[in-house]
Amino acid sequence: MSRPVDYGVIFIARLALSVLFLWGGVMKLLGYAGFVGYLHSKGVPFVQIAAPIATAVEVLGGLLLVIGFKVRPLALIMAAYTVATAVLGHDFWNVVDPNVQHDMVIHFWKNIGIAGGFLLLFVTGAGRLSIDGARAPRGGLGGL
């Protein structure tokens, strides 16, 4: 059984994860041509498909995290997306400049850590302070 404080912590975790993706998604929308150019420079295949999907995942995923809707499947999608962006966008093994490589290593492992946070969210669910939590059946003697 979860304690009431757990739901607040899960809510804060969802908000913390969502900020990164909402910000990134909005910046992609505002500078869409630059984002497409960046994907081309990284050799991402099917950029005309990948760019709108990446933007949608970040904006819609961020919004769904905030409201807490379908968080368990969303967490798996976001974890996979975050690992994919680590591999495609922070490929430190292809960087020659030591300073740039250092930054890329940090960003790569940051993404892996974020994916770990999403996996924890998959396990915990959205918590009570969410659409998922409001729709969940309540059972037991005054259960949370």
Residue 35 to residue 24: CA distance in whole angstroms: 11
User: pLDDT value at position 2?
Assistant: 66
CA terminus-to-terminus distance, the chain: 7
- 139 or 55: which leads in pLDDT: 55
Residue 143 to residue 37: CA distance in whole angstroms: 52
Residue 106 to residue 84: CA distance in whole angstroms: 15
Q: How many CB atoms lie within 10 A of CB 88?
A: 15
pLDDT category at 11 given cuts 50, 70, 90 is very high
CA 110 to chain centre: 12
Average pLDDT in the 37-41 region? 92
| Domain limits, the chain | 4-132
127 backbone φψ class: left, alpha, beta (φ>0; ψ -120 to 50):
left
User: pLDDT value at position 50?
Assistant: 94
Minimum mean pLDDT among 9-13, 49-53, 72-76, 136-140: which range? 136-140
pLDDT category at 57 given cuts 50, 70, 90 is very high
- 3 or 23: which leads in pLDDT: 23
- 127 or 3: which leads in pLDDT: 127
Residues 6+ apart with CB under 8 A from 27: none
Give the pLDDT confidence of 97-143 residue by residue, as tens digits: 999 999 999 999 999 999 999 999 999 999 999 999 888 776 544 44
Burial (Cβ within 10 Å: 0-12, 13-18, ≥19) of residue 117? middle
* pTM assigned to the model: 0.87
User: pLDDT value at position 141?
Assistant: 47
